[in-house]
Every structure is written in C-alpha cells, then in structure tokens.
Amino acid sequence: SLAMGTTTQEYLDFVLPLVKNAGQELLSVKNVEVEEKGEFYDVVTVYDRKIEQILFKKIKERWPDHKFIGEEESYTKGISQLSNESTWIIDPIDGTANFVRNLKDACISVGLVINKEQVMGVVYNPFMDELYTAIKGQGAYLNGVKIQTNGATDISKSVFNYELSLGVNTKYYDLYMYRLKHLLKHIGGIRSMGSAVMGLCYVATGRMEAYQCDGLFPWDAAAGVLIVREAGGYVRDSNGGEFDLMDPNYIATATKELSDKFMEIERRADQERESDAQNHKQL
C-alpha cells in the first residue's frame, strides 16, 4: 500500500488535547514560585519547563524524526538552527510574568514549521478558555469559529497594543520614547499587555487593530504569526523588512494599509532619534 504522509490536520488533531491538558493544569496552580533567568523581568516557573518537556516528549514518541525548538531548552542549550525538517516550535507559557501575577494574558503556543514554512499553529489560553488554531491556507479559528481581523485602515481609530517591556532599562529605551512621542499623536488608544502571542491573537480576532513587539524569538512567532495571517491580517518586520521567523521583530495589523501608516510614523520617529543623536555628538 502507499505510505501516506501525515496531513497538517492530523498534526493539529494530535497536539490539541496535549495543549489543552497542559493548559488545564495551569488553572489549578495556586502559589507559584518565581525564578529569574538572568534579567529580573525574565521569569520562569516549574510549569514553563514541565509543559515544554511533556509536549516535546509526546510529540517525539509519535514522530521520532521531528525537530524541536522550545524556549526553556534553548535557554540552556542554545537555539537550534531551523532546517527543512518538520520542526515544532514551542513557547510553553507566553506571558509568564502575567501568569505569576494571576493576570489572564498568558497562553501555550505550539507552531509547526515544515520546509521553513509555518504550516500550523495552536494557541491555548486556559484562563479565558480560548483555543486559537490555524492551518496554512485554511483560515484561523477561535474555539472552532472562524475569525478575521477587523479590516481597520484608520490609524486614528486604532488601538495599538505596543509591547514596551523591552524598553525597561535597555538599549530600546530611547527608541521607544521617540516612537511613542510620534505615535501618540496619531493612534486611537494604547495598551501594553505582556503576552506577544495573545497580542497577535487579539489582532486576529479583530479585538485590536495592531500589535508590535521587538527582539523576540521563534517561539513567540511560530503559531501566532500564522494565526494573524490566516485571519487576513498583515505581519511584517517592525523595522521595515521581511518578517524573519528566527529573528522576529513584528508588527501585526488588521490590514497592510494600516501597517504602512504605522511604518511611516515609526520611521519618522527613528529618523528624529538619529538626527538628535548626531546633533548631540557635534555639540
């Protein structure tokens, strides 16, 4: 008989109950011990490690040839390069800093990449009981119901979820201050909610018009970026170029038209920052 390849739907069906179970376990967590990984804002719990390990283990048992990239393993072993092999890219908890504060913007994110192409994404937020799924070319879903971005093109009516946490005492501080100074004159509202993956999902559902975060990792993008795109949204590198899964800085918007407007304002801000820095040097 013919050896049939596994379909993307089968991958999704296999991993769904694993992700849901892991999420259910997080719901019953009471007092969680918080560990700092290096920077004070980069926290981890036993649940981050446990969820990543169980997902790796179960998927590996089923497909021993598959490759894996996960946040917690990468922290100790370094990030593996992406090959053409089927690669599961996992963020066991996105928004750990929210999770440890009992804030609901946190989720488990599982993406599947084949031939370097994002083909499947699952995001589960157990605190809101929201399960987001997408298969390349087949749309995006929230709890089984098809979702779409809200189609916004008017920046003055856009709520912008701009993740600023990276600007806390880092090299990004100046960059964010200049961008905010310009953006706040044009946008309709602002949030900074602490989960990059949920931020992407909120654009996909049409709850928010735009999301941006810089300096991310593949596990912050592998599922969520596909979900936004399958919901009709637009994702690009926030510095202007092509989105790079292995080095993600992303802005996700309801439409490309809206993305262009954000880019124009942010580039203006970046130019002002550069010319101020130049002038400062000349003094």
Q: Residue positions in the annotated binding site for Mg(2+)?
A: 71, 91, 93-94, 220
Q: Which of 51, 69, 93, 251 is catalytic?
A: 93
Segment interacting with Ca ion (CB under 5 A) among 214-222, 239-247, 258-266, 270-278 = 214-222
* Binding of ligand IPD by 194 (CB under 6 A): yes
State how far the Cα of 44 lies from the Cα of 42, in Å rounded to an integer.
Answer: 7
**220 catalytically annotated:** yes
* Binding of ligand IPD by 95 (CB under 6 A): yes
Containing 67, the helix (H) or strand (E) segment is strand 67-70
Residue 169 DSSP class:
T
Paired with 153 in beta bridges are: none
Site string for ligand IPD, 64-83 (x = CB under 6 A): -------x------------
Residues 199-238 that bind ligand IPD (CB under 6 A): 213, 216, 220
* Binding of ligand IPD by 196 (CB under 6 A): yes
**190 catalytically annotated:** no
State how far the Cα of 8 lies from the Cα of 118, in Å rounded to an integer.
Answer: 11
Cβ atoms of residues 203 and 211 within 8 Å: yes
Would you give the distance in Å from CA 10 to the centre of its chain?
23
Site string for Ca ion, 86-125 (x = CB under 5 A): -----x-xx-------------------------------
Containing 237, the helix (H) or strand (E) segment is strand 234-237
State how far the Cα of 283 lies from the Cα of 272, in Å rounded to an integer.
Answer: 17
User: Closest CB to Ca ion among 93 and 252?
Assistant: 93
- Candidates 133, 158, 195, 238; binder of ligand IPD (CB under 6 A) is 195
Q: Show the CA angle centred on residue 246, arms to residues 74 and 93, nearest 5°.
A: 50
Where does this chain bind Ca ion (CB under 5 A)? 71, 91, 93-94, 220
Q: Active-site residues: which are they? A: 71, 91, 93-94, 96, 220
